[in-house]
Structure 1
Amino acid sequence: MMTQEDFFDKQAQKAGTRNQQSSTNETNVGRREFVKTVGAGAIALGSGLGAGLGANRTFAQEASSSTYKPVTSNYMQVHKDLVIIDGTTNLRGLDKDVKYLDWYKEGRATAVVMTISAANMVAASNVRHKDDTLDGLGFIHRLLQTRDDLLLVRSTSDIEKAKYSGKLALFLQFQNAAVVENNLDLVNMYKALGIHVMGMAYNQRNQFANGVTEPVDGGLSVFGVKLIERLNEAKIIVDVAHTGTKSGLETVWRSKSPVVLSHSNSRNYRPSPRNAPDELITAVAKSGGLVGAIMYPPFVAAKPFPTMDDYVGNIDYLVQLVGIDHVGISSDYTYQISMTPAEQKAGWKMYIDSGVWTKEAYPYDVLAYPQGIETPRTLFNLTDALLGRGYKKEDIAKLWGGNWLRVMKAVIG
């Protein structure tokens, strides 16, 4: 049987020089830079809603999805009964490709917390990134106006409505508060456009807080304290997933509403600069929030092709640490699920060269999500794995959606 590594080696050989790695000296990474770096062959912005990145490519799932063998007999029925919420996905449609939403429907998802704006990849925003943010918001709202199978979350009841109507609910998120610029009134504007989760910083320090990969563990700025006050007032969930430990702890202390680590694992269980220390995870749980167990390979295991057991092991640790009521599921699926190895390498190099990513936190230039859940199309395999690990249906219901619903009700209503 062909291993994942064998598969990727063969794919890389086929790719040849079709997608040359290119370097960049730019320090701000947005959608346009990504397109230039990886190449038009990898991302086609296109005019149609169906055009886009990795069309007809399924290399990740070809590599190993077919080798996942269910361990229980009733997992599909259990999965269908649950409210399924992916607490973070980067498949935001900025490349005008909507197949990912259809993939979520195949996986029986109820709602996705969808990252909007390539500005999550910069430390300080500017006009270009403001354009990217508006582009992302505009595209999503166009979809909502043209597809009756999608639903924008305005209140938590919309997620319950989506479950019973068969629609997919979109719960919008910014991973970097840099998009607020120096104008806190933008918080209220973004709220009106459907943003319900906002990260304080993304890896690097911005005008509000320290990022998790900064060499100095600094705290909040004065402006960061004011941002938290405004986010609480606007009923937006405060997120510290990419925030440094000190800034994260100060955020929890300052916020009057529950705080989340929207997509993270434990640094104590899986050592990685990007994962959160148990001290921060515990503080977030005590605030009434949750930690969304992340599927992104470097944060799951010390290998680029983690197994399902690797991922469930991270969930087990978090549940033991803070209890079943404070853990959720967050894939953090990126466009890498549709990229060839050559395209993955080019994108990884760009982010490393820019400083947005570090090799310590993001060591793998070619990777695949945990076996069996390489894409949203097979989310039900995780339900099977949790049942096989001994979790009861009511506990899986909390992990998949119940805990996210609780936090959402507490903050946005």
Structure 2
Amino acid sequence: MGNPSPEPAPGAPSRSARMPAKKRYNGYRSFQYLEPGVDYRPFVLAAEINRVEPYVVEVSEAQEERVQRLLAENVVISLHEHLMVIPDDVSQVFDYIREGRIFTGYEGLAASGLDAVCENFLNGAATITSKMGWKWTDIIHDIGMRFADLAHQDFVIRAERVDDILRAHAEGRVALIPSLEAATPIENELDRLDVLYGLGIRMMGIAYSEGNALGCGLREPSDGGLTVFGRQAVERMNKLGIAIDVSHSGDQTALDTIRHSKKPVFITHAGARALWPSRRLKPDEVIKACAERGGVIGIEAAPHTTLTRNHPEHSIESVMEHFEYCVELVGIDHVTFGPDLLFGDHVALHKAFAAHLSIGESRAKGEDFPHVPYVRGMENIAEAWPNIVRWLVKHNYSDDEIKKVIGGNTLRVLREVWHG
């Protein structure tokens, strides 16, 4: 028990934790319109800024000025995140989820430099009434609670059109793009896609690691590809204007989806399997097929995912090696970032939800690598996004190239996929 959200860790914030001057965050905390201990059970939550020792990619003073200018001038979009703040004591996470009120990390989001973010809520961790997750009622409950909280503040707005993203950038706000990592909750009910669209969902995956009625996930021993129902779902998402994600789909299901969709498809959070033999990463064939149809891949940074043999200890250097490989493979117009981060001990959460999130099945087999407590330089979005831009500046990417990979490429595809 305790306060719903703790004070930031002591000490002066690092440069990566400073709130960009353009942001108009006023200090709102989730559900502050309610009384903790009366209206809901409170938990002591992880710090959103400086939870661990900050790491700042080293740049010169002139380069830092350029970094801040690029963050201020350009539309910055994360293709995949989870903005939830989890309990400081991760052993309480199941009780926290069953309470049904997931806190959004507004403070950390304000410090990130982001103008828009594809927010994926609890997804398979939505174990409010079920032990296994992905149940329709739990997903709807989670989304509804988060939207109720959003409705009581004016810093984050829901994005349903590209104009909402541009308005957020212009006004110093952040546009939240409601997303789900899999269509599993629709079961065999095609019209549930319309319901989710009506509730605001604008991005959706085909399958999570487990197969469903649409196709196979990456953990399955064999992949039969997109099902007949899956093809119908892709067609309906195209008609509705829901962007499609194949990050967790099996290779054949991903290829079938890319080829069947009339609109470009996203791989929102992954990396290159050529650099690390994990099913969580995509083979060149899938990455190239995505790009050839106009799509974009977002580079993942969740702990122990985008490793490389050159950088097996997961850090921003590992992540950026995947970035540069994909740029070389398909070009700068088809790569961005979907770090897949949250606020709190991500590694401990993975351990708690290992079965639900298919952690073991998706990792590389027979590869030894050092386990890290967090990804240095990309511990959460408050640290990750300024560091991404610093890394790009330090490695001599042009302003135009940086503009594309921190949001421009995503905007281009959303303009084509969304209606309006």
Give the TM-score, by structure 2 length. 0.78
Distance across 2 between alignment mates of 1:135 and 1:365: 38
1:150 maps to what in 2?
Answer: 156
Q: Which of 312, 317, 328 lines up with 2:325 in the alignment?
A: 317
2:190 maps to what in 1?
Answer: 184
2:58 maps to what in 1?
Answer: 69
1:265 maps to what in 2?
Answer: 271
1:10 maps to what in 2?
Answer: none
Where does structure 1 lack aligned partners over 5 or more consecutive residues?
1-44
1:283 maps to what in 2?
Answer: 289
1:227 maps to what in 2?
Answer: 233
2:31 maps to what in 1?
Answer: none
Judge conservation of contact 2:102–2:146 (CA < 8 Å) in 1. no
Distance across 2 between alignment mates of 1:340 and 1:251: 30
Secondary structure of the corresponding residue to residue 86 of structure 1:
strand
Distance across 2 between alignment mates of 1:320 and 1:357: 29
Distance across 1 between alignment mates of 2:135 and 2:405: 34
Distance across 2 between alignment mates of 1:323 and 1:277: 16
Deviation at 1:220, TM superposition (A): 1.4
2:11 maps to what in 1?
Answer: none
Deviation at 1:398, TM superposition (A): 0.6
Judge conservation of contact 2:124–2:357 (CA < 8 Å) in 1. no
Which AA in structure 1 matches 2:376? Q
Which AA in structure 2 matches 1:89? E
Judged with a 3 Å threshold, the aligned counterparts in structure 2 of structure 1 residues 238 and 114 are, in CA distance, closer, same or farther, namely same
1:193-237 superposed Cα distances (whole Å, 9 cap, x missing partner): 111111000111111111112111221111111111111111111
1:11-30 superposed Cα distances (whole Å, 9 cap, x missing partner): xxxxxxxxxxxxxxxxxxxx
Secondary structure of the corresponding residue to residue 280 of structure 1:
helix
Which AA in structure 1 matches 2:223? D
Judged with a 3 Å threshold, the aligned counterparts in structure 2 of structure 1 residues 312 and 395 are, in CA distance, closer, same or farther, namely same
Secondary structure of the corresponding residue to residue 203 of structure 1:
coil
Secondary structure of the corresponding residue to residue 172 of structure 1:
strand
Judge conservation of contact 2:123–2:180 (CA < 8 Å) in 1. no
Of 66-75 and 209-218, more deviation after overlay is shown by 66-75
Q: Which of 108, 114, 117 lines up with 1:112 in the alignment?
A: 117
1:81 maps to what in 2?
Answer: 73
Deviation at 1:277, TM superposition (A): 0.5
Of 193-202 and 359-368, more deviation after overlay is shown by 359-368
1:112-166 superposed Cα distances (whole Å, 9 cap, x missing partner): 10003434789x9999822221122112221232111111111001100000101
Q: Which of 331, 351, 354 lines up with 1:352 in the alignment?
A: 354
1:271-295 superposed Cα distances (whole Å, 9 cap, x missing partner): 2111011100111111111000111
Distance across 1 between alignment mates of 2:314 and 2:248: 22
1:356-391 superposed Cα distances (whole Å, 9 cap, x missing partner): 332551899964553222111122121011011111
Q: Which of 337, 340, 346 lines up with 1:329 in the alignment?
A: 337
Ranked by relative contact order (alpha carbons within 8 Å, sequence separation 6 or more), the top structure is 1
Distance across 2 between alignment mates of 1:132 and 1:319: 38
Distance across 2 between alignment mates of 1:310 and 1:221: 35
Q: CA RMSD in A?
A: 3.0
Secondary structure of the corresponding residue to residue 157 of structure 1:
helix
Which AA in structure 2 matches 1:316? E
Judged with a 3 Å threshold, the aligned counterparts in structure 2 of structure 1 residues 128 and 142 are, in CA distance, closer, same or farther, namely same
Distance across 2 between alignment mates of 1:360 and 1:222: 26
Distance across 2 between alignment mates of 1:300 and 1:108: 23
Secondary structure of the corresponding residue to residue 354 of structure 2:
helix
Find out whether 1:90 has 2:82 as its counterpart: yes
- What is the count of residue pairs matched by the alignment? 360
1:101 maps to what in 2?
Answer: 106
1:308 maps to what in 2?
Answer: 316
1:194 maps to what in 2?
Answer: 200
